[in-house]
Amino acid sequence: MKLSTTAAFSGQMGCCSLLKASTIFLGMIGLLNVPIMADFISEFDVTWSKDHVNVLNGGNSLQLKLDQASGSGFASKSSYLFGDIRMDIKLVPGDSAGTVTAYYFSSQSANRDELDFEFLGNVSGQPYVLQTNVFANGQGGREERIFLWFDPTAAFHTYSVLWTRNHIMFSVDSIPIRVFANNKALGVAYPSSQPMNVFSSIWNGDSWATRGGLEKINWNYAPFVASYQNFQADACVSSQSDPNQSCTASSKWGQSTTFQSLSSDQASRLKAVRQNYMVYDYCKDTQRYPTAPPECSHEA
């Protein structure tokens, strides 16, 4: 998930009143079924450093901790193939330089499919950088980075993925920030057959995460804590006995056209994010890709 490019990322946060969450209403959300509200005891397993994971409020919230001894992580017990999956996260406050909080979806296979949110810590007072990436059939290298337009350490915010046959939409507080379309017709692999589990972890990425590795972790501020609540999955739970058929045959996620395109409002919000907050787009990195990947001419 590391960004292998020499491009420098710098800039100032823009301002765009269109993105105030209090004014957002996305018509698609009203069409969804009531999502499954899951607790962290019944729906997740600790995958890394159990003594650095705190489950709170009877399983309704969870904290991951990073210190010099270890990072930590968890994973969902269920795997999903298509759906709307979201989590409320509050990121590491203060000087978080060098830390990486990853929230992602991944299949358990050699040629994995994976959808990434990676929150790259920064020195106090600087904006958080959110990196997204898409792996399909083991092929990644599709990083995009934006500045978040709010302080993600002051309160919980909702990070979600809407995954359909036609596109994958990454959103923050129901505001689309990225769309990866199904361009199989162009020879581009697309995640459509491998169920994915939900993962999160916090770890030491100071070799690359903040200003290309120039800012290292200041362990005087440890432990670094990321907090989670309100996991929701309006999604097809994959059957272990038949992981693909049970979901691809679903009228809602496998065949229905309801969720297969963006509304005009969503398209407008997405355009505003990309114009005001994007600081890196792999499609425009000519040093890395002298010839742009084929999907780039079709990106929103």
Can you give the pLDDT at residue 12? Answer: 37
129: CB partners within 8 A, 6+ apart: 9, 119, 120, 122, 145, 146, 147, 148, 279
For residue range 172-188, what is the model confidence (pLDDT) as tens digits? Answer: 999 999 999 999 999 99
Q: What would the mean pLDDT of 136-161 be, rounded to a whole number? A: 96
Catalytic residue among 43, 118, 144, 215: 118
From 277, 198, 295, select the one nearest 12 (Cα to Cα). Answer: 277
- The count of other CB atoms within 10 Å of the CB of residue 255 is 11
For residue 221, give the 3-state DSSP assignment.
Answer: helix
Catalytic residue among 114, 144, 215, 295: 114
Can you give the pLDDT at residue 163? Answer: 93
Q: Where are the alpha helices (DSSP H) in 45-155?
A: none
- Residue pair 148/11 in contact by the 8 Å Cβ criterion: no
- The count of other CB atoms within 10 Å of the CB of residue 137 is 16
Q: What would the mean pLDDT of 78-104 be, rounded to a whole number? A: 95
Can you give the pLDDT at residue 15? Answer: 42
The amino acid at 166? N
Query: How is residue 49 written in tokens?
Result: 């450093």
With 0-12 CB in 10 A as exposed, 13-18 as middle and 19+ as buried, what is 241? exposed
Distance, in Å, from the CA atom of 285 to the CA atom of 299, rounded to the nearest integer, reads 14
With 0-12 CB in 10 A as exposed, 13-18 as middle and 19+ as buried, what is 34? exposed
Can you give the pLDDT at residue 30? Answer: 34
- Residue that wins the pLDDT comparison between 75 and 259: 75
Distance from chain centroid for Cα 263: 21
Distance, in Å, from the CA atom of 281 to the CA atom of 76, rounded to the nearest integer, reads 30
177: CB partners within 8 A, 6+ apart: 130, 132, 146, 170, 171, 270, 273, 277
Radius of gyration of the chain (CA): 18
Q: Is 118 a catalytic residue?
A: yes
H or E stretch covering 132: strand 129-135
Distance, in Å, from the CA atom of 102 to the CA atom of 119, rounded to the nearest integer, reads 6
Q: What would the mean pLDDT of 87-111 be, rounded to a whole number? A: 95
- With 90 as the cut, is the pLDDT of residue 152 above it? yes
For residue range 241-284, what is the model confidence (pLDDT) as tens digits? Answer: 666 666 765 556 655 555 667 888 999 999 999 999 999 999 99
